[in-house]
A and B are shown apart, each in its own frame.
Chain A
Amino acid sequence: MTPSVLAGLTGAALVGLGLYGLILHPHPLRKLLAFNLIGSGVFLVFGIVARRGAAAGFRFDPVPQAMVITGIVVAFAASAIAVALILRLSMQSRNVTLDAEVWTRPNGGDAT
């Protein structure tokens, strides 16, 4: 078990964990957190592709690593938009949940 395979399997496990939280948590910020876990798991998989692609005198393949760097920043930008939308949604509706049942209840999403 080389370090890169270990990191890759960790990434796979993170994707699984994140998916579980994303589906099950009714709280929108917890969903966002879970989504970020999935993202970093995918980044780790990129990381081991970079580590395995060592060639041309480098200890790593710089192309996937550069993509991960842009990826982290873009993921943060997306999270910021998600947070803004969540805050606005809860301000409008006074509901801090994404549970479908709450929203479809007769008096649930009243402020629309």
Chain B
Amino acid sequence: MSVLPVLDVVLASLVIGVALFTITARDLFASVVGYVAYGLLLAFVWIRLYAPDVALTEAAVGSGVTGVLLITAGKRLGALKNAAPEMRPGLSLKILTGVLATLVAGALGAAILMLPDPPPSLAPEAAAAASGAGAGLKNPITAVLMSYRSFDTMLEKIVLILAVVGVWSVGADKAWGGAPAPLRQSRPYAPMVLLAQTLAPVGVLIGIHIFWTGADAPGGAFQGGALLAAMWMVTMMARLAGPPRIDAQWLRMAMVAGPAVFLVTGLAGGVLAGSFFAYPPGIAKPVILAIEGFMVLSIATALPMLVAGPPSERPDQ
């Protein structure tokens, strides 16, 4: 096992190097490419920290979807680039900021070196959650998300919906109800169409697989939903499908489904199992899987809508 420590050092220096590049790169495009590479590298770091669940989320959301969001934003912003030239900050400000940033990083690093020993841990509680209320979940992270800290997870879904509402409300008043601007303006080339047509069905299958194994192995609603979202975005980027109108009934229902089902089950737990968000023993696992299924639907619709942006055209009817 003598290779792994070397690998760790190489990985850490790569992460810092690429981060440095994204900060210092001259143009936006280069810095976004750097950011996508940075997300991939971080996913490998998470694997080394024994966190494949986080690695998958980071690769899908942190690197992939965020990258596409920034590229699309840069493209839309590019049309306005003629405005004010960028101001370069002065040398004294640079030095001052550098000192501040070094101090903050140094303090954080010192705190990390002085972390308490033995380390505090909530793992026993999570183990209890995995074998107790969320009976039969072999993946402790899913047990934590769906049982031990279920309230957090539900509120997090609501945050996602609020974010979509926030993005939509930024659009012009007269465009309300219309569809967001398409992710690709011109007709796609044949290879892109082929890629999207082949990738999307396989991707949907893999997304569902990752959601389904999430109960017992790394994976789960977040990762599966993010992969499905990515596949929908691929079809939109290849212009196989346009973004839907934001007043579409099915879209809104799909987005609200996750937290709504979660909340109803939580309330039902208050009546049937004695406390808010308690699952009735015996059928806990199927109930959790059902909630997660609706959460996948919500994530898979909310993420692409966040990337597509506010409605852009006047609804034509």
- Which A residues are within 8 Å of any B CB, using their own CB? 3-21, 23-27, 29-30, 32-34, 36-37, 40, 43-45, 47-70, 72-81, 83-88, 90-91, 93-97, 99, 101-102, 108
Contact = CB atoms under 8 A, between A and B. Distances in A.
Interface residues of B, number: 94
Nearest to A105: B84
A21 B34 CA distance: 14
Contacts of A69: 53-54, 57, 141, 145, 222
A63 B69 contact: no
B112 interface: yes
Contacts of A57: 127
A45 B141 contact: no
Contacts of B149: 63, 66-67
A106 B123 CA distance: 59
A14 B222 CA distance: 25
List 10 A-B pairs, minimum CB-CB distance, nearest first: A16-B105, A53-B121, A77-B163, A80-B306, A62-B140, A8-B112, A12-B109, A12-B108, A21-B23, A52-B119
B42 interface: yes
Contact of A70 (B124, B126, B145): B145
Q: Which secondary structure characterizes the binding site on chain B?
A: helix
Given A27-B86, A61-B123, A90-B77, A6 B8 contact: yes
Contacts, number: 287
20 contacts: A3-B5, A5-B112, A13-B109, A16-B102, A17-B19, A21-B22, A23-B101, A33-B23, A43-B54, A44-B45, A51-B50, A57-B127, A64-B122, A66-B144, A76-B306, A77-B159, A80-B167, A86-B77, A88-B310, A99-B84
Contacts of A25: 23
B140 A95 contact: no
B143 interface: yes
B73 A33 contact: no
B170 A17 contact: no
Contact of A63 (B28, B89, B125): B125
Nearest to B225: A73
Contacts of A108: 84
B205 interface: no
B252 interface: no
Contacts of B61: 72-73, 76
A15 to B, nearest CB: 6
B54 A58 contact: no
A58 B31 CA distance: 38
B166 interface: yes
Interface in B300-315: 303, 306-307, 309-310
